[in-house]
């Protein structure tokens, strides 16, 4: 499909809106992120490659922090680190005054390696092991979220006197999102329903070791409507008055042209207005954004390996579900472009290299005259791509590059075949 220069420019402008703030085309029509040509990054660091705009990360951290503190001064933004558990990301957010939510010992280890103050860490998990809880209390983790009565049993054995805890409440709120990332409805594996939550509250209040600060609630991820968040706040208020309310995260990011998620400020408005209506005025509020903090700041680069022209045309790249599981797991839609021919073109099936028919990165995406060797950029991959990268078919997990002011620095190296074999023991013949 052929377009004139004006039409291509309009299409390119719409596409660039999905890339990190400040992304642009240079005089040669090359796509730049963080002031760096994406084609040159692919040449220097190889593909697949995760590219992160450092300024974009800082801006988003500041925007969340300022929006919350202006509306509710006694508050803290806590990054849900599972969205992008990279030490460089956590170190940057720590510098912006954010706290950190970790879901298990591995994420805690990354946070500690990044130099995060353990007092700012919130430990989550519906199945925390005794070893993980021991690790947390020995590290001095500030808050442990109780998700079940077994957590209480273990903490009373392991924790020093004065371990601060929150109890996760299941509010029976079902948002409009994918079933796999909906967590607030009845029957969810997360949290405690009303009767169990009240029992846990009573038990912790009589504990000699644990200090009950308050309640936690989280209803899911990639939620594009604000109304369920207000209902969750009203629901958690029914359990009584507490010093701390952690209202979770879940506000969605924009992945496609059609999606229009609420602004950060609108989301915070809804939460704080509901808090003023239902919660104590002197309570401390916490929120735990993950996806929305990092998604748009990330871009994944691939190199085209083959083009099978026909109905449909398949454009295959050197990555796929090994570096982006969102499509296969949740049916998430992405967009993409050739980095030096941005916008326009005919619809193709952008597919990966893995031995699965489900390894289809984007169905029906417009690419302009794709050829083997081209570099393809996929925006909005800063959340849940790096963290769920895997070794299917022996794929090597990609590196991470931070870009700022035209300079690029490697913060995670590419995995090697030696890494793949590092845990393999010498075969033993029986």
Q: Which residues pair with 304 in a beta bridge?
A: 317
CA R_g for the chain: 23
Q: Judging by beta carbons within 10 Å of its beta carbon (0-12, 13-18, 19+), is residue 204 exposed, middle or buried?
A: buried
Q: Side-chain half-sphere of 268: how many Cα atoms within 13 Å?
A: 23
Peptide bond into 48 cis (omega under 30): yes
Strands (E), 192-290: 210-216, 244-246, 284-287
> Do residues 210 and 152 lie in contact, with contact meaning Cβ atoms separated by under 8 Å?
yes
122 and 146 in contact (C-beta within 8 Å)?
Answer: no
Contact 374, 303 (CB under 8 A): yes
Helix 54-71 to helix 264-278 angle, to the nearest 10 degrees? 30
**Residue 355 catalytic?**
yes
Name the H helices within 147-255. Answer: 149-158, 194-205, 227-237
| Catalytic one of 36, 86, 355, 385 | 355
Long-range contacts formed by 192-195: CB under 8 A, 24+ apart: 192/146, 192/147, 192/148, 192/167, 192/168, 194/169, 194/238, 194/239
How do beta strands 298-308 and 49-53 pair?
A: antiparallel
Residues identified as active-site: 355
């Amino acid at each position: 499909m052929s377009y004139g220069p004006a039409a291509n420019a309009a299409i390119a402008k719409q596409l660039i809106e999905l890339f990190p703030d400040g992304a642009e085309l240079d005089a040669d029509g090359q796509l730049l992120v963080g002031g760096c040509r994406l084609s040159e990054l692919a040449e220097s660091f190889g593909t697949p490659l995760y590219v992160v705009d450092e300024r974009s990360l800082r801006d988003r951290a500041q925007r969340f922090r300022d929006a919350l503190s202006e509306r509710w001064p006694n508050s803290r933004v806590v990054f849900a680190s599972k969205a992008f558990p990279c030490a460089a990301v956590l170190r940057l957010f720590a510098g912006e005054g954010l706290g950190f939510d970790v879901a298990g010992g591995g994420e805690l280890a990354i946070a500690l390696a990044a130099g995060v103050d353990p007092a700012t860490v919130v430990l989550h998990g519906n199945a925390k092991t005794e070893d993980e809880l021991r690790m947390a209390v020995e590290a001095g983790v500030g808050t442990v979220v109780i998700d079940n009565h077994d957590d209480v049993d273990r903490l009373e054995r392991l924790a020093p006197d004065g371990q601060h805890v929150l109890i996760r409440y299941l509010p029976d709120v079902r948002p409009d999102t994918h079933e796999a990332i909906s967590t607030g409805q009845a029957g969810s594996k997360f949290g405690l329903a009303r009767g169990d939550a009240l029992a846990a509250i009573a038990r912790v209040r009589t504990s000699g070791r644990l200090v009950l600060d308050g309640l936690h609630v989280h209803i899911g991820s990639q939620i594009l409507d604000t109304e369920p968040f207000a209902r969750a706040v009203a629901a958690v208020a029914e359990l009584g008055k507490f010093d701390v309310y952690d209202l979770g995260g879940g506000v969605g990011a924009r992945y496609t042209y059609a999606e229009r998620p609420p602004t950060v400020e609108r989301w915070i408005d809804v939460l704080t207005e509901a808090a003023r209506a239902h919660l104590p005025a002197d309570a401390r509020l916490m929120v735990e954004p993950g996806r929305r903090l990092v998604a748009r700041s990330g871009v994944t680069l691939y190199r085209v390996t083959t083009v099978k022209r026909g109905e449909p045309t398949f454009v295959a790249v050197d990555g796929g579900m090994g570096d982006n599981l969102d499509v296969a797991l949740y049916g998430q839609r992405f967009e993409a472009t050739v980095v030096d021919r941005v916008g326009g073109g005919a619809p193709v099936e952008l597919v990966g290299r893995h031995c699965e028919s489900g390894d289809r990165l984007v169905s029906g995406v417009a690419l302009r005259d794709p050829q083997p060797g081209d570099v393809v950029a996929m925006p909005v991959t800063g959340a849940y791509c790096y963290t769920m990268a895997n070794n299917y078919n022996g794929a090597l997990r990609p590196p991470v590059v931070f870009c700022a002011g035209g300079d690029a620095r490697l913060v995670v190296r590419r995995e090697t075949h030696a890494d793949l074999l590092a845990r393999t023991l010498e075969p033993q013949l029986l």
